Amino acid sequence: MLILAASTQRTIGLVLAAIAISGFILYWVFNWFQGRAETGSEVELAVNRKPYHSDEVLETKKLDSSLFAGLFCLVVIGIALPLYWMGEPGRHEGLVEENDEVAVHRGEELYEERCASCHGTVSGPGGSVPYTLTDDNGLFLGNLNWKAPSLATVLYRYSTDEVEYVLNYGRPNTPMPAWGAPGGGPFTTQEIDEVIAYLAHEQVADIDEVRQRVDDGLVATVRQRLTAADPSLDPDALEVAVASRLESIKADPTEYGELLFNNEGDNGVYGCARCHTPGWSYDADDVRSREGNMLISPEEPGGGGFGPNLSETIRQFDTAQDHETFVNLGSQNGVAYGNFGQGDGGGQMPAFGLCVADRDAGERDFITRDAFCDNRGGEGVLTNEQVAAIVAYEREVLAGEN
């Protein structure tokens, strides 16, 4: 066994040695036949030892061709480079546009994932959020549905910075959570910007359409009131009644102001009640009558919710004119208004009469508009006449109550 094993290894070793040796011999033979004879001495062969052009050629043809090559390079530098730089701003713009598109696209994904469940689509009428209302001590008051506002015109009413503020901190005591890092939310600054880019992209395109939405809201509000008063009205009779009721309301500024104040359109974004009447956003009166839940306080027009109680506001503005200016412009973060008002919480009283891009620059009437507002003529969601009507209602009716 042992001898057999040793002889097998030997055989393999011998065969391998034979292959190696014969391979080497083959290589040597090939090399022998392929080898070339010495072609010349190093002195003749070296490139730098070769004789060069004669002086004659050097000073004519060679000189000219070198000069032409230089000229060609100059032309390239002198023309091609400026041409390249001329295209640079366009290329840059294209890049910015592309980045904007990317931001909008990313914003859309974030919106679908994080916002749509409550607000619906951006251009839609808003949404509804199940919410458990508790009192200041955390005691249960009732289960209800909170109206999430439509975001279709949010940038007509708020500057980008103000929307950023709401996104960063949310709205305390409402279902709107904080999204930004400053408020303890999950979004990065870039994600907040991207969502805003998407909101901007989806805003109602022109001011006439905004006005139409305001009017549609008024019609719906009147229809709702008439149906509540007389549920037996058939649809045709109802529409006739709505039209004539609306006409008579519009003839009286304070009545028109009351309707505008309580406009239900797009979940209340064109009206005032959602912030100034406590309980409006969850229909406190309905919840009370439906559930007999007396723990929930009734709605009190202008009684103060997220925005202040308006019964004292007449002391704030000496004239209706000043009052209207405030409603047109809204509040600015940290900027005083009226006789003793102080805009805080990021300037959350919206601008109703003007599209404002930047109200955060200090002076009250220093407003920089951006392309978004300029493309819409700088107008806000309400007309001057509508703002005047609301102010008349506030000064003549609300100021007398409470």
**Residues near ligand HEC (CB under 6 A):** 114-115, 117-119, 129, 146, 148-149, 151, 154, 163, 166-167, 171, 174-176, 179, 195, 269, 271-272, 274-276, 281, 306-308, 310, 312-313, 316, 326-327, 331, 338, 341, 343-345, 347-350, 352, 390, 394
Least distance in Å: CB of 178 to ligand HEC? 10
**Nearest residue (CB) to ligand HEC, 151 versus 242:** 151
Q: Which is nearer to ligand HEC, 239 or 322 (CB)?
A: 322
Measured between alpha carbons, how far is 290 from 131 in angstroms, rounded to an integer? 16
Which residue bears the tokens 């009644």? 241
Neighbours of 243 (CB within 10 A): 11
Residues 160, 357: contact at Cβ < 8 Å? Answer: yes
Cβ of residue 270: shortest distance to ligand HEC, in angstroms? 8
Nearer to ligand HEC, 170 or 288 (CB): 170
Per-residue exposure over 9-47, b if at least 16 CB sit within 10 Å of its own CB, e if not:
eeeeeeeeeeeeeeeeeeeeeeeeeeeeeeeeeeeeeee
Least Å from the CB of residue 223 to ligand HEC: 21
Nearer to ligand HEC, 76 or 142 (CB): 142
Which of residues 221 and 331 has its CB atom nearest to ligand HEC in the complex? 331
What's the closest the beta carbon of residue 192 comes to ligand HEC, in angstroms?
Answer: 8
Closer to ligand HEC by CB, 11 or 134: give it: 134
Least distance in Å: CB of 315 to ligand HEC?
A: 8
CB 260, CB 218: distance < 8 Å: yes
Q: What is the smallest separation between the CB atom of 339 and ligand HEC, expressed in angstroms? A: 9
Let me know the angle formed at the C-alpha of 396 by 230 and 309, rounded to the nearest 5 degrees.
Answer: 85
Distance CA 328, CA 313 (A): 16
Toward ligand HEC, which CB reaches closer, 94 or 172? Answer: 172
User: 364, 355, 362, 365: which is closest to 200 by C-alpha?
Assistant: 355
φ/ψ (deg, to 5) at 373: -75, -40
Nearest in space to 266 (alpha carbons), one of 324, 196, 212: 212
Shortest CA distance to 200 belongs to which of 9, 12, 376? Answer: 376
> Cα(174)–Cα(280) distance, rounded to whole angstroms?
12
Whole-angstrom CA distances from 100 to 25, 59, 179, 186, 277 are 73, 60, 21, 22, 39
Least Cβ distance, residue 364 to ligand HEC (angstroms):
12
CB 147 within 8 A of CB 281: yes
- By C-beta, is 223 or 346 nearer to ligand HEC? 346
Q: For residues 242 and 389, which CB has a smaller minimum distance to ligand HEC in the complex?
A: 389
Closest distance between ligand HEC and the C-beta of residue 269, in Å? 5
* Closest-CA residue to 297 (of 309, 283, 313): 283
Residue 319 CB, nearest distance to ligand HEC (Å)?
13
